Structure 1
Amino acid sequence: MTYAASDVSNFYYGAVTPVVAYLMACLGAALGLRCTTRSLRRPHRRAGWLALGATAIGCGIWTMHFIAMIGFNVQGALVTYDTTKTLLSLVVAIAVVSVGVFLVGYRGGSPATLATAGTVTGLGVAAMHYLGMAAIHTNGTLGYDTPTVILSIVIAIAAATAALWVVVSIHALWASLGASLVMGVAVTGMHYTGMAAVSVHLTGHSATSQSSTDLLSFLLAMLAGPLVVLLVAAVIVMFDPDMMLTEDDWDRAPVAATAPRGTAPRGTVPAQPTHFDEQQARTSQSRTSW
């Protein structure tokens, strides 16, 4: 059987798909960071916030991948996707991010914990990417350049480790938003590095050489669920009363919250009576004696 190499493009719609994909990666990262920050400050609700954060990050990464894949085009071939493998890649994305987030959420940000959680999460993100690629059906076979694949996995591990470090180290709102922009670059960079490793060898010629309306409809339908999840997470985070607290506010809030009603917060010095206060007390006492 003869295989003919085909031209592959990841930018069929120009800059639209990579820009939107990057924004979705940033959105998922930003929501995940804010949720995990709350989990560290609210131990009684830690599991819920960590689960929401992991889901947001996982959905953001998966959404980034398949929005970017809308721009994937193979000359002389019609690309379709296997529904089961596509959905399975979403489950993998959320599951592996959950492992990393829960590790740092409950065990802290020690170097050993970050290395373990970052490696597991990075390998999982890479697995999500290549599982999503395995869902592709076309009239040919996909090949991969091994060194480029390895580079994409290294980028995924580095990006995941950096993201988890940010989770336990950066709590201020604007700092976490800036970190999410950097994480978006890393995650999107990992995707396009992995796509640079792809080559397609066709066994026949398709009558359609561009992405069809059916393919676009399928991917948009697949994206609907994760987009709703991200929207719900955004609403929860935005309406949380601690949204705008600064680092100093966070440090004071737990003390004030745990102080018994009617007592001064622990660590504060009671106000000393002034000369005016003492004079008022003596005057009040003399009146009472009358």
Structure 2
Amino acid sequence: MSHEMHHFSMGLWVLFLAYAVSVIGSLVGLICVQHAMAAADRSVRWRLTACAALSIGGVAIWLMHFLGMTGFDIPGSAVRYDLSLTVLSMVLSVGATGFGLVVVGSRASWPGRGVRLVAAGVVMGLAVSAMHYTGMWAIRIRGSIDHEPTFVIASIVIGVVAATAALWFSQVAGRWYLRVPAALLMGVAVISLHYTGMAGVRVHVDPAAAPPVGVSVTQLLFPAFGLGMVVLGTAAVILLLTPSQADVELDEQITRWVSSPAEPEPAPVSRSV
């Protein structure tokens, strides 16, 4: 028999905060991707792609998940988390996002961009879904947790569609007025995956079981939130220090102008009187 549980025990503000963090992480990640696509230097592209993977995978997806979990409460049992599995879920999220961005952003001519987009979206969506359920696997309660297959399948489908859309947005949202709605939609997709999966959670409390062992969500959240802010701040600094394509072209024009030899002035023409 399923036991009572709450998803918003701390209030709906948790939902809005999680959504806001997901949108901000997505927006910073999209900006990093666009600068990476425009960069001619390979080291700059890799650096910006890494920032995008951390911003989207680490903040927009993973941090949003644990912000949402602050409202998860089970009357009659404490809720604890296994730290190693929690870290594994973060690695899955960041790694999957980085993989998808590298595949889609590849400048290779084969296979086609559409094929790369779909393949990367499927792999990234499956890995992000695995992140969610690895995070759920890390939960320790006085009893057991089950997931209804229908909601699991629905959340995985949402994950694949959301990942594919996120990768597509990363390629087309080149202008600022496209990045903002793209980030808003990505935040909706991430929130939808999370709460669709949570809708299928069923808990079974056993009063005779031993108290759960692990860290609480608040002990986990404050360091994670601080790390997420460091990631976003670092990405912002790197973006500010990375010259735009227009700056690079201007520097090249100035260099050519300075290095080009001055043309000799024409000799004066003598006139006979």
TM-score normalised per structure 2: 0.84
* 8 Å Cα contact 2:86/2:134 also seen in 1: yes
Distance 1:100 1:72 in 2: 30
Equivalent residue number for residue 231 of structure 1 = 233
The alignment yields a C-alpha RMSD, in angstroms, of 2.7
Equivalent residue number for residue 21 of structure 2 = 24
Larger Rg: 1
Distance 1:231 1:256 in 2: 28
* 8 Å Cα contact 1:59/1:230 also seen in 2: no
Determine helix, strand or coil for the equivalent of 2:2.
strand
Q: CA deviation at 1:222?
A: 3.5
* 8 Å Cα contact 1:25/1:184 also seen in 2: yes
Q: Which amino acid aligns with 1:84?
A: S
Distance 1:225 1:253 in 2: 31
Equivalent residue number for residue 12 of structure 1 = 9
Equivalent residue number for residue 271 of structure 1 = none
Matches within 5 A, 1:137-286: 137-204=140-207, 215-238=217-240, 240-242=242-244, 261-262=256-257
Unaligned 5+ runs, structure 1 = 243-249, 264-283
Greater Cα shift, 96-105 or 173-182: 173-182
* 8 Å Cα contact 2:81/2:216 also seen in 1: no
Q: Which amino acid aligns with 1:96?
A: A
Determine helix, strand or coil for the equivalent of 1:73.
coil
Equivalent residue number for residue 261 of structure 2 = none
**How many corresponding residue pairs?**
255
* 8 Å Cα contact 1:85/1:132 also seen in 2: yes
| Cα deviation code 1:135-158 (max 9, x no counterpart) | 100001111110111010111111
Equivalent residue number for residue 38 of structure 1 = 35
Q: Which amino acid aligns with 2:23?
A: C
Unaligned 5+ runs, structure 2 = 259-264
Determine helix, strand or coil for the equivalent of 1:53.
helix
Distance 1:77 1:88 in 2: 25
Structure 1 residues 160, 215: CA separation in 2 closer, same or farther (over 3 Å shift)?
Answer: closer
Distance 1:158 1:185 in 2: 12
Distance 1:253 1:238 in 2: 12
Distance 2:47 2:218 in 1: 34
Distance 1:172 1:37 in 2: 9
Greater Cα shift, 55-64 or 106-115: 106-115
Q: CA deviation at 1:224?
A: 2.6
Structure 1 residues 127, 214: CA separation in 2 closer, same or farther (over 3 Å shift)?
Answer: closer
Structure 1 residues 137, 255: CA separation in 2 closer, same or farther (over 3 Å shift)?
Answer: same
Structure 1 residues 95, 205: CA separation in 2 closer, same or farther (over 3 Å shift)?
Answer: same
TM-score normalised per structure 1: 0.80
Equivalent residue number for residue 57 of structure 1 = 56
Q: CA deviation at 1:52?
A: 1.4
Distance 1:116 1:122 in 2: 10
Q: CA deviation at 1:203?
A: 1.2
Structure 1 residues 145, 137: CA separation in 2 closer, same or farther (over 3 Å shift)?
Answer: same
Question: In the alignment, is residue 93 of structure 1 matched against residue 102 of structure 2?
Answer: no
